[in-house]
Amino acid sequence: MKLDGRIDVAAPPGAVWAVLIDPLSLAGCVPGVEAVRQVDDRTFEGEISAAVGPMSADFIFRSVIGRADFPTDLEVTTTGSDSLTGSTLTADVHAGLEAPDAATTRIVYRADVRISGRLAILGDMVLRATAGLIIGEVARCLRARLETAAGPGSG
Amino acid sequence: MSAAAGYDLVVVGGGSSGCVIAARASEDPARRVLLVEAGPDPRPIPDVIANPKRQGEVILESPYVRLYEVERPDGSTFPLIAGRVMGGGSSVNNLSVIRPLRRDFDAWARIGGEAWSYESLLPTLRAIEDDPDFGDQPIHGRGGPLKLVRRWKLDDPADPPVEALMAAAEEMGLPRCDDLNVPEPFGICASPYNEVDGKRQSVAVAYLEPARGRPNLDILADTTATRLVLEGSRVTGVELLTPDGPRSVAADRVVVSAGAYESPHLLMLSGIGPVDAIEAAGLRVRHQLDGVGRNFQDQAVVYLTFQGAADFHEEYLIPKVRLIAKSNAALDYGDLHVFLHPAITVRGLAPLLPVSVRLLDVRSRGRVTLASPDPLELPAVDPQVLADPADVRAMLDGMRFVADLVAHPRMAPFYGDLVTPGAGEDWEAFARASHITYNHAVGTCRFGPADDPLAVVAPDLRVHGIEGLWVADASILPVIPHSPTNVAAIMIGEIAARNLATADAAAR
């Protein structure tokens, strides 16, 4: 499953990058992600709790920052499994930062998500819809946080 | 019974057709019958199978299904699902009892002759069922093995989102359809389900259970048929892999009822099928039949997911209301099933409400072929779902119908904006990249006359060119019905049992 899109934030690339590269900071902007803990400077873990109808599951994941070249390339590989079906998920996410004008940073992202096991029965529907909502929330959160911080007088 | 004596009949596959054949064939005490099932035969039947409320768990968590991972055109994968337990699909499906449409019988009769017409097979459909609501009507039956129940009827109270759906659909021109099993159902339908006192009535319960004590019926579970034994152009037995090791059984007749994936698989492993598939696996061709594994069909399913304004506690996969709708107003039949699904909730996020579009017309054709000469390896499946441009167009029209339905003011208290496909997303690309199937695979051992190059079996279900060998399951249907396939598979079991009895009588 491939997801791509862009998020425009009215803040300088350095400020946006600083949030994206810091898992604990970014996690505050990703709804549904809980119990985030940093394993080392490139690795973090967390959980997402989801339910489909009467069935609920915890999804435990580990993310590793594979490449971090400011400001063009941030690559994160996430692997995880769910407590309901024991299926595994691998997601390779690439984010690049562009500056379409002096006041805006554009995050251009693309993700390749692979699900193996029974989660794939529901996976596309659940993941696409959940990713759609989460990305919308991340965009709102980044804007709220950075556009306020980068407002008049903040430099 | 002594296996050394051999059997009059070996039935390979204890699914919705095979259990029916074994039960019917063993009614004659003079006929020695062996039923072989690759999956387990758990008794008492575990709650996860018997309890309809746990149907989602059977699919997502239990060992009673087999998954065939297949690729979409973009390289992403999803599993096709088949039952792998006594009762087959009827032990793991959503329990709905839905007949093929009259137009499906018309299509089959054009290929297979009058024996496949609606009029010819209506007595069989009636004999299968015990319908407490409509059993007195001429198209329905009472007293058959399969018990139906309508837990909920259209006039019963329903959850507010279901009420809203029905009102919106009615205002969009869909009629109410109390009986889903009329010859051409259309509109807002309440599904009948096969259960008694809250327990699933699979064919293992409805057909096989009453036959289990018969001295002329042997049952081998956890046993895989690895090869058919052929002498010249006649089948003489089956090689099996039992929990105790390999074993060969002799048989006068063999019926392969292993389903649309495993029936063509066993034929090809036995050298019966297309030359390219058999030789590519390094096996010897015993009998060329180009249609084996070809003509695969399953119905495409695409989900539209909306922001939810309210939580929603419907049972997963077992909808109260099934809309039968048209992708195109000019059609004279419903080519879509539409279900509401329960909320997806991720802690910290607003609920998401999926609605599925299920396209019943299938013009695309896929293929099942050998991936390996090892009988324990799964066959390769290339389903080609939505490959035909007309299927894609109909699916897109179905998606627009659902978007319009959900945008109806009646639905506004429950359903918000469309989340996926997202704003500006290409709906065709979305459908091609995210579809799954309704899991009603058919067609891979299709019936037809001997001069039909893709026919595997004759309309009476005997394999063309091999004496004593029959195929009887959903794989024999040349065209997929506009319905789920469990009732069709049970009917095929009844047809096969009758044809076998006729063949026996002729041989005496």
Domain boundaries, chain A: 2-149
Q: What is the mean pLDDT of residues A48-55?
A: 77
* Residues of chain B contacting A120 with CB distance shorter than 8 Å: 69, 77-79
User: For residue A151, is pLDDT > 50?
Assistant: no
pLDDT tens per residue, range B190-249:
889 999 999 999 999 999 999 999 999 999 999 999 999 999 999 999 999 999 999 999
**Which of B78, B79, B346 is opposite residue A48, by nearest beta carbon?**
B346
Nearest Cα to Cα of residue B403 among B432, B433, B423: B423
Paired with B324 in beta bridges are B187, B337
Q: pLDDT-derived band of residue B410, with 50, 70 and 90 as boundaries?
A: very high
What pLDDT score does B341 carry? Answer: 83
User: What pLDDT does residue B2 have?
Assistant: 42
Q: How is chain A split among helix, strand and coil, in percent rounded to 5?
A: 30, 50, 20
The H-or-E segment that residue A27 falls in is helix A23-27
Residue A148 pLDDT exceeds 80? no
Give the residue with greater pLDDT, B54 vs B15. Answer: B15
Number of CB atoms found within 10 A of residue A35's CB = 12
Chain A residues within 8 A of B417 when measuring between CB atoms: none
B6-30 b/e (C-beta count within 10 Å ≥ 16 → b): ebbbbbbbbbbbbbbbbbbbbebee
Each residue's pLDDT tens digit, B64-87: 999 999 999 988 889 999 999 999
Q: Provide, rounded to the nearest whole percent, the portion of chain B with pLDDT above 90.
A: 83
Residue B483: is its pLDDT beyond 70? Answer: yes
User: Looking at per-residue confidence, does B103 or A42 come out higher?
Assistant: B103
CA distance, residue A11 to nearest chain B CA (Å): 24
Can you tell me the mean pLDDT for B306-334?
78
**B361 pLDDT exceeds 60?**
yes
How confident is residue B1, by pLDDT bands cut at 50, 70 and 90? very low
Query: Is A84's CB within 8 Å of B61's CB?
Result: yes
Question: B237: phi > 0 → left, psi -120 to 50 → alpha, else beta; which?
Answer: left
Quick check: A116 pLDDT over 90? no
Structure tokens at B157: 């109270």
Contact (Cβ atoms closer than 8 angstroms) between residue B255 and residue B12: yes
Is beta strand B272-273 parallel, antiparallel or unpaired with respect to B287-288? parallel
Distance CA B17, CA B48 (A): 22
CA end-to-end distance (rounded Å), chain A: 40
Which SS3 state, helix, strand or coil, does residue B419 take?
strand
Q: Report the chain A residue with the minimal C-alpha distance to residue B422.
A: A132
B310 falls in which pLDDT band (50, 70, 90)? low
Residues in chain B: 508
Residue A30 Cα, gap to closest chain B Cα (Å): 9
**What's the confidence (pLDDT) of residue B4?**
54
Cα separation values, B302 from B357, B386, B472, Å: 5, 11, 30
A49: pLDDT confidence band, cut at 50, 70 and 90?
A: confident
Instruction: Give Cα B138 distance to the centre of its chain.
Output: 26
- CA dist B88 and B65 (Å) reads 8
* A150, pLDDT greater than 80: no
Long-range contacts of the stretch B275-282 (C-beta < 8 A, 24+)? B277/B369, B277/B370, B278/B370, B280/B369, B280/B370, B281/B370, B281/B371, B281/B372, B281/B373, B282/B373
Residue B391's alpha-carbon distances to B58, B126, B399, in angstroms, are: 30, 33, 12
How many Cβ atoms from other residues are within 10 Å of residue B215's Cβ? 9
Rounded-to-integer distance, Cα A14 and Cα A18, Å: 6
pLDDT range class, residue A134, cuts 50, 70, 90: confident
Counting one residue from chain A and one from chain B, the pairs whose CB atoms sit within 8 A come to 118
Kindly tell me if the per-residue pLDDT of B370 is higher than 50: yes
Retrieve residue B364's tokens: 């695309």
Distance of CA A77 to the CA centre of its chain: 11
Helix axis angle for B18-25 and B486-507, nearest 10°, is: 30
Interface subset of A 136-155, CB within 8 angstroms of B = 137
- Report pLDDT for B317: 47
pLDDT at B271: 98
Tokens of B124: 């069989």
Q: Which of A31, A116, A122 sits opposite B349 (nearest CB)?
A: A31
SS3 state at B353: strand
Q: Residue B383: its pLDDT value, please? A: 98
Q: What DSSP designation does B342 have? A: P
3-state DSSP of B100-163: CCHHHHHHHHHHHCHHHCHHHHHHHHHHHEECCCCCCCCCCCCCCCEECECCCCCCCCCCHHHH
Q: Do residues B48 and B54 touch, judged by C-beta distance below 8 A?
A: yes
pLDDT for residue A51 is more than 90: no
pLDDT reported for residue A155: 35
| Of A104, A131, A122, the residue nearest A57 (C-alpha) | A122
Q: Distance between CA B300 and CA B359 in Å, rounded? A: 5
The confidence band for A128, taking pLDDT boundaries of 50, 70 and 90, is: confident
B164-198 pLDDT, tens digit each: 889 999 999 999 999 999 999 999 998 899 999 99
Tokens describing residue B473:
């399951």
- CB neighbours of residue A130 within 10 Å: 22
Residues of A in contact with B346 (CB under 8 A): 31-32, 48-50, 130, 133-134
B192: its two tokens: 């009948």
Q: Residue B274: exposed, middle, or buried by beta-carbon count in 10 A (0-12, 13-18, 19+)?
A: buried
Side-chain half-sphere exposure of B412, counting CA atoms within 13 A:
3
Element containing residue B369 per DSSP (H, E): strand B366-369
Q: Does residue B416 surpass a pLDDT of 80?
A: yes
- Is B423 within 8 Å of chain A by CB? no
**CATH classification of A2-149 is 3.30.530.20, yes or no?**
yes
Question: pTM higher than 0.80 for the full model?
Answer: yes
Handedness of CA B48, B51, B55, B57 (dihedral sign): negative
Range of lowest pLDDT (A133-142, B131-140, B229-238, B340-349): B340-349
Nearest residue to B122 via CA among B487, B457, B480: B487
pLDDT tier at A32, thresholds 50, 70, 90 = confident
- Contact state of A118 with B419 under an 8 Å Cβ cutoff: no
Which has the minimum average pLDDT: A48-57, A66-75, B146-155? A48-57
Identity of the residue in A1, A32, A54 whose CB atom sits nearest the CB atom of B349:
A32
d(CA B204, CA B191): 22
The sign of the torsion formed by the CA atoms of A51, A54, A60, A63 equals negative
Is there a contact between B347 and A55 if contact means CB atoms under 8 Å apart?
no
**Cα angle vertex B316, ends B481, B482, to 5°?**
10
Residues of A in contact with B68 (CB under 8 A): none
Assembly ipTM = 0.81
Half-sphere exposure of residue A89: CA atoms within 13 angstroms, side-chain side? 28
CB atoms B60 and A120 under 8 Å: no
pLDDT bucket at B55, cuts 50 / 70 / 90: confident
Residue B345: the pLDDT is 83
Structure tokens that stand for A64 in this block: 């590793």
The residue of chain A nearest to residue B433, with distances taken between CA atoms, is: A1
C-alpha separations of B265 from A95, B205, B273, B467 in Å: 45, 27, 9, 19
CA B267, B268, B271 angle in degrees (round to 5)? 95
Q: How many other C-beta atoms are found inside a 10 Å radius of the C-beta of residue B110?
A: 12
Q: With a CB-CB cutoff of 8 Å, which residues 32-71 of chain A face chain B?
A: 32-34, 48-55
The confidence score (pLDDT) of residue A102 equals 83
**Using CA atoms, how far apart are residues B231 and B110, in angstroms rounded to an integer?**
34
Cα of B6 to nearest chain A Cα, Å: 40
Query: Are A75 and A66 in contact, with CB atoms under 8 Å apart?
Result: yes
pLDDT at A71: 80
User: Which percentage of chain B shows pLDDT scores above 70?
Assistant: 97
> CA–CA separation, B5 vs B7, rounded Å?
7
* B464 has catalytic annotation: no
- The catalytic residue among B140, B440, B464, B482 is B440
Task: Say which range, B12-21, B206-215, B342-351, B468-477, has the weakest mean pLDDT.
Answer: B342-351
Omega cis (within 30) before B44: yes
* Per-residue pLDDT band at A24 (split at 50, 70, 90): confident
Report the range of poorest mean pLDDT among B4-8, B89-93, B393-397.
B4-8
